[in-house]
Amino acid sequence: MSQKVLVAGATGDMGGRIVKALLARKADVTALVRKGSDPKKIADLEQAGATVYQADLSNIAEIAAACKDVSCVVSALAGLRDVIVDTQLNILKGAVEAGVPRFIPSDFATDFTQIPVGENRNFDLRKEFREHLDKSPIKATSIFNGAFADILRYNTPIFDTKNKTIVYYDGKKDWKVEFTTKDNAAMFTAMAALDDDAPRNLYIASFSVSPQDLEQLSEQYKGEKYELVNKGSLADFSASLKAWRASDPEGETNLYSKWQQAQYLHSMFYAHHTKLDNDRYPTIEWASVESYI
């Protein structure tokens, strides 16, 4: 009999990709969606082959009913405290009540366990949920994928295709930053969801590149060498981010406020992987930086 996996946040970008990757692995997939989710997205999930379960995500009994016979719950929810801590906690409680043995939280990030509290608001919320998860009887697995590779295609400071610049911080010109495509992260997550022996933390990257590598790649693939810009010390950056956050309380209600985006940049230069688990599932074809940039 195929394993039954429940995906929360299935109407989202990552969640939808995880559902498709699970279906491609012949899993039996339940998509847990909140009441009021876009009917078109629900119809797409059903058409793809998932069983959609609409529930009030504040109601633990309803969540537990959706979790019947499930071997792993995967969360790909996105949001602030009400989602990452409160709603994920409800889903965790429902999963525990239903006797689900495994849970993959909506982490999909740089390894925030290495990053001190106060440096990245969205990571602090994940850390808070992680404490609840580690106190529960369920076996958890977090997927740390660094940054999603798409950011190399926008005008983000790490590879600014408009201004043709690449920022770095003191002593970090050759600091490797992990990037993972959403499809690679989704397939790895699906395989981890079906892998009862998966450990607490799994570290992946489609590719790891430093600012110096990106400079070379810009010359090779963008026809022009982007300028490396030293933005000073990471400690000064951290202090300026704290002041910026304090001056913009409205940003606390915005998932991707400007200072939060800058906190992600800080995190990329603060923590990186020291090992990779890419080979755990050898059938995955990891995207290369050349094919992506």
Ligand X SMILES: NC(=O)c1ccc[n+]([C@@H]2O[C@H](COP(=O)([O-])OP(=O)(O)OC[C@H]3O[C@@H](n4cnc5c(N)ncnc54)[C@H](OP(=O)(O)O)[C@@H]3O)[C@@H](O)[C@H]2O)c1
269 lines the binding site for ligand X (CB under 6 A)? no
Overall residue count recorded for the chain in this entry: 293
| Runs of H (alpha helix) within 75-150 | 81, 88-97, 121-135
Closest CB 185 distance from ligand X, rounded Å:
8
| Nearest residue to ligand X on Cβ basis | 12
Residue (of 136, 188, 192) closest to 5 by Cα position: 192
5 lines the binding site for ligand X (CB under 6 A)? no
203: amino acid identity, one letter: Y
Residue with tokens 């693939």: 221
| Residues touching ligand X, count (CB under 6 A) | 24
3 state SS of 54: strand
Q: Which stretch binds ligand X (CB under 6 A): 37-45, 197-205, 215-223, 269-277?
A: 37-45
Q: Which stretch binds ligand X (CB under 6 A): 11-19, 43-51, 88-96, 132-140?
A: 11-19
Return d(Cα 140, Cα 94) in angstroms, integer. Answer: 15
The residue among 41 and 242 lying less far from ligand X, judged by its C-beta, is 41
Would you say the C-alpha torsion 234, 246, 178, 204 has a positive or negative sign? positive
12 lines the binding site for ligand X (CB under 6 A)? yes
3 state SS of 129: helix
Q: Give the contact letters, 136-175, x = binds to ligand X (CB under 6 A), - = no.
A: ---------x-xx---------------------------
What does the binding site for ligand X look like in residue numbers (CB under 6 A)? Answer: 9, 11-15, 34, 37-38, 41, 57, 76-79, 82-83, 87, 106, 108-109, 145, 147-148
